[in-house]
Chains A and B, each alone.
Chain A
Amino acid sequence: MMSRMVGGKSSWRWVFGTLIGLAIAIDVTAWYLRGEIDPSSVLSRALFGLVLALGLSASALLLVTISAIHREMRATEQVIGLAIAAGLGLSLTGWMIEGGFATSISGTENILEQARIGGAMLLNGLFASLTAAGLVFGLLLALVTGRPMEKDPLLELESTGDFGED
C-alpha cells in the first residue's frame, strides 16, 4: 500500500496531517489541563506576534537590502516593498499596543517598551525553534548519510581503450 503512496499527493497529506494533528493534540491537552482559556486572548496574542514579526523581519530585510545595494541592482521595488511591509507591521503593532490588544499595559508611551519585550520574545522563540530544527534535521542527515551504500557497478568496469574508431 505504501509503495503506491510514495511521492503522491496522499503522502504529503499524511505528513501535513501528522503535523496539524499533533499541534491540535498538544493544544487540546494543554486546554484540558489548564481548564478555562480565553480563545479571544489567545487569538489576539497570535495576531500581535504576527504583525510584530512582520514589521521586524521586513525591517531587518530592508536593512540587509539597503546595505547590499549596488549599481547593477534593481533595488527600488525591493526597498519600497519592504518599507511598506515594515511600515504596515510596525504601525499595526503600535495600534494594537495603544489600544491594549494582547498586551498587559496600553498607551502611546508604552509602545516602544512593549515592542522591545515582544521583539526579544520572538528572538527567543526563533532561537528555540532553530535549535530544534537543527537537532532533528542534523540527526536525520547523519542517519541517512550513514547508510551503507552498494558500490556503483559502473565504477568496477575498466576501459578497453577501444572507442569504436575505424
Chain B
Amino acid sequence: MTTTQWVFGLTDPWIGFWLPVGLLCIAAGFWLTDAEDVRRRFAIPLAVLSVVTLLVYGGSTRGSDIVETSLLGAALGVAGPVILMLVGCLVATFSGPAPVGPLPKGLRPFGFIMACSGIAWIGTTLLQEPPGSRANGLGEVMWSTWVMTFLASVLLIAATAAVFAFIMGEKRRREVGIMASLAAVSGAILLYLFSNGSVDLSATGWLDVYWQQLPFITGGFFGLIAGVAALILSVYIAEKRTPEPDIVAPLSEDERARITDILREHLNIGGEE
C-alpha cells in the first residue's frame, strides 16, 4: 500500500475501483448533454480523474490479492498486445488506397504485421512463466478467463466474418482466406490449451475455467443485451406517450394583415409605399 493510496482511501475497492467506474458513467452522461450545458465542461476532467483513480488504485497490484486488482493486473498484462493490434489495424486502414488515407502507402504491410504480432504476443505469453500478478489465485483465474474469452470470441467472430464475406461479397477470396486463417489459429490455440495446457496451467485447469467462467460471461452478454433492450423499450414507451402537438388555429385577418405588412417591409414586395 502506497502513501497516496492510503491518504485517499484507495485501498477500499468501493472507492478505488467501483466509484471511478460509476464516475465514468456520469462523465458519459455529461458528454451527451448540449454543448452549451455547463455539465459538458466537466465530462473530460471527470473521466480523467476516474482513470487516474483506477491507475492509482491498481498501481501496487500483485494481481492475486482481491478481484478488482486482479482485473486491473490482467488488463495491464494484455495492454501491450491490445494496443499493438489496435494501432496495427488503424495503420493498415489509413495507409490503404481509400480516399481518407493520410498515411504513406508503404506502411500498410507493417499495419498488418503489427495486428498479427498482437495475437502472436498473446500466444507467446502462454509459453512463458507468468509474472506474479497472474501466477496464482484470482489473478490466474482472471488472466485465463481473459485468454479463453478472447480466443473463443476471435474464433466465432472471424469464422462468421469469413462466411459473411464469402456469401455476401464479390471477389472476396483474400478477405475470406485471412478471416478463416485467423479463426483457424485461434481454434488451434484453444484446442492446444484444452489438450495440453500452458506453462502455468494444466489442461484440466483450462477446461475448468472454460466450464465455470465462459457460461457466466455468455449469460452476461445476453444480460447486457437485455439491459440495452430495457433502455430502448423505455425510450419507445416515452415516445408513444408523447402527446400530439395542439392544433393551431388558422391566422386571423389581423394577423394576416400584420404578416403581409412585415413581408412587404422587409422583402420590398409590391414596391415602396
Contacts and interface: CB of A to CB of B under 8 A. Distances in A.
A133 B179 CA distance: 12
A148 B161 contact: no
A85 B168 CA distance: 38
A105 interface: no
Give the interface residue-count category, chain B. Answer: 35 or more
B11 interface: no
B168 A11 contact: yes
Contacts of A143: 174-175, 178
Contact of A138 (B13, B93, B97): B93
Interface string A119-130: 111111111110
Given A61-B228, A85-B227, A131-B85, A49 B219 contact: yes
Q: Which of A49, A60, A117 has the most CB of B within 10 A?
A: A49
Interface in B89-104: 89-90, 92-93, 96-98
Nearest to B98: A145
Give the interface residue-count category, chain A. Answer: 35 or more
A142 B89 contact: yes
> Helix, strand, loop or mixed for chain A's interface?
helix
B228 A57 contact: yes
Q: Which of B37, B71, B108, B179 has the most CB of A within 10 A?
A: B71
Contact of B92 (A60, A146, A147): A146
Contacts of A68: 29-30, 32-33
Nearest to B71: A120
Nearest to B43: A67
A140 to B, nearest CB: 6
Contacts of B203: 33
B244 to A, nearest CB: 14
Contacts of A157: none
Interface string B171-204: 0001100110010000000110011000000011
B215 A132 contact: no
> Helix, strand, loop or mixed for chain B's interface?
helix
A136 B161 contact: yes
A140 B161 contact: yes
A141 B228 CA distance: 26
Contact of A29 (B78, B89, B168, B191): B191
Contacts of B195: 33
Contacts of B37: 70
A98 to B, nearest CB: 18
A133 B108 CA distance: 21
A82 B230 contact: yes
Contacts of A47: 219
A81 B153 contact: no
Given A116-B67, A120-B70, A15 B167 contact: yes
Interface in A140-166: 140-149
Contacts of A23: 156
26 contacts: A15-B160, A22-B160, A34-B204, A45-B212, A46-B215, A57-B224, A58-B231, A61-B228, A67-B25, A67-B39, A85-B226, A120-B17, A125-B145, A125-B216, A128-B147, A129-B149, A135-B182, A136-B161, A136-B182, A137-B161, A139-B112, A140-B165, A142-B89, A142-B111, A143-B174, A146-B93
